[in-house]
Amino acid sequence: MRVKQDLGDLAISGGPPAFEEPVHVGRPNLGPREALFSRLEGVLDRRWLTNDGELVHEFERRVAGAAGVRHCIATCNGEIGLEIAIRALELRGEVIVPAFTFVATAHSLQWQEITPVFADVDPRTHVIDPRSVERLITPKTTGILGVHLWGQTCDVEALGAIARRRGLKLIFDAAHAFGCSRRGRPVGGFGHAEVFSFHATKFVNSLEGGAVVTDDDELARRIRLMKNFGFVGYDDVAFVGTNGKMNEFCAAMGLTSLDAMDSFVAINARNHAEYARELNGITGLRLLEPPAGERTNWQYVVVDVDPERCPLGRDDLLDLLWTENVQARRYFYPGLHRMEPYRSHFPNAHLLLPSTIRAAAGVLVLPTGQSMDPEAIAIVASVIRLGVERADEVRAALRVTVRPRHPRRRTDPESP
């Protein structure tokens, strides 16, 4: 690995790729292996592999403590957590969601034959815009599903005021925001419920997993029953449920990740600072910063590429990085309103989503986490800087070396 200093150093010009192996966004962080293996041995010794085992209960207690809430219900993944929370809140008809989010947010509604109605986002933070939400409310609206993005929180106060005034339920997809805060309060206690993801790509992971957190005692009771088929006793089912349980192996990984959470955050914070230093002054690039004075997990390094100022477009930068084995991502591209079935259901949605369209066209997410260090970040930044400074030559080379081989190679906006 070495910093790219001249056009001839780039892979598109015949040089070796910056990295021998692909460098991924969301490569899993790993806690202490000895602690994980010890927990797994305990699971095997107890022969209690699932169905509310000892480690799941411990995981729930620790997540609830971190989120500052009374209840945490661990689930097999974040989307199932959303689906169960939506069902427990008895949402129906239409629910307003941001168009700029991972597709699971909308699918958790559509899967239950609830219509997701797409709101626009704030152009600088990319979280749902309360003014857009207000304009979309109809007699069919029963709820608002906000999404905390990049560790930044929604305007929970404005959304809460709208929900109370209009008699709507309020829930948050907090997949990006575990360990973050708003006005000093931990993410977890806002709205009727919040849902975390502990997928392998998240900075704290349980292999696959999620959790619903809430301070509503009755809602928590319903969710806990619904994630286990609706059983209220050994042979007694009270209402329709599903199998949304987290197993003991996933809980073991989750607990081991929680043990190492502070170190993961410190690594992410260091990496973000390195990117800020290395990318400083590159024309047309803005590195998104977390809110001042709040706790954040620094989980994502998000660069906004301004098409009017940056000499090299976002997609060209993406292609350039991929030739160097830096598998950066254009998250949530092209926006939910342009994915099926929503594209067919709402063919004119784009008319109300100018900031979503702009975000989908400009976001570039760069690798971070344990797999990155200052040296690697300097190399990634050198590729970006060289691409922008030699934009015309890089663009011409990309047309010859990349586009004929990969006409549309990236259509998936994000892994779960």
Provide the residue-wise pLDDT of the chain in tens; the chain has 416 residues.
689 999 999 999 999 999 999 999 999 999 999 999 999 999 999 999 999 999 999 999 999 999 999 999 999 999 999 999 999 999 999 999 999 999 999 999 999 999 999 999 999 999 999 999 999 999 999 999 999 999 999 999 999 999 999 999 999 999 999 999 999 999 999 999 999 999 999 999 999 999 999 999 999 999 999 999 999 888 899 889 999 999 999 999 999 999 999 999 999 999 999 999 999 999 999 999 999 999 999 999 999 999 999 999 999 999 999 999 999 999 999 999 999 999 999 999 999 999 999 999 999 999 999 999 999 999 999 999 999 999 999 999 999 887 654 444 444 444 44
**What is the pLDDT at residue 2?**
85
With residues binned 3-state (H G I as helix, E B as strand, rest as coil), the percentages for the chain, rounded to 5, are 40, 15, 45
153 and 273 belong to one structural domain: no
**What is the pLDDT at residue 402?**
75
* Residue 335 belongs to some domain of the structure: no
79 and 228 belong to one structural domain: yes
CA distance 355 to 117: 16
198 and 299 belong to one structural domain: no
Do 125 and 149 contact (CB within 8 A), yes or no?
yes
33-46 helix and 248-259 helix, angle to the nearest 10 degrees: 150
Neighbouring CB atoms inside 10 A of 165's CB total 10
149 and 268 belong to one structural domain: no
**What is the pLDDT at residue 403?**
61
* Residue 214 belongs to some domain of the structure: yes
CATH number at residue 242: 3.40.640.10
* Residue 101 belongs to some domain of the structure: yes
Do 353 and 118 contact (CB within 8 A), yes or no?
yes
272 and 233 belong to one structural domain: no
392 and 293 belong to one structural domain: yes
186 and 289 belong to one structural domain: no
Domain that holds residue 386: 7-20+261-328+367-401
105 and 16 belong to one structural domain: no
237 and 266 belong to one structural domain: no
Q: Which amino acid is at 151?
A: G
How far from chain centre, in Å, is Cα 43? 30
Domain boundary among 244, 259, 274: 259
Contacts of 33-36 with CB under 8 Å at 24 or more apart are 35/256, 35/259, 36/252, 36/253, 36/256
* Residue 211 belongs to some domain of the structure: yes
238 and 277 belong to one structural domain: no
Q: Which amino acid is at 318?
A: L
147 and 274 belong to one structural domain: no
What is the reported pTM?
0.94
E-state strands within 30-147 = 71-75, 94-98, 115-119, 141-147
* Residue 123 belongs to some domain of the structure: yes
- The number of folded domains in the chain is 2
**What is the pLDDT at residue 401?**
84
* Residue 125 belongs to some domain of the structure: yes
Do 284 and 310 contact (CB within 8 A), yes or no?
yes
Do 382 and 375 contact (CB within 8 A), yes or no?
no
CA distance 361 to 315: 8
SS3 207: coil
Residue 268 in tokens = 């992410």
283 and 243 belong to one structural domain: no
* Residue 16 belongs to some domain of the structure: yes
Domain boundary among 259, 284, 309: 259
* Residue 290 belongs to some domain of the structure: yes
| β-strand partners of 128 | 121
Quote the DSSP letter at residue 296: -
CATH number at residue 275: 3.90.1150.10
Quote the DSSP letter at residue 54: H
Domain boundary among 201, 235, 259: 259
In order, the DSSP letters of 333-350 are TT-GGGSTTHHHH-TTGG
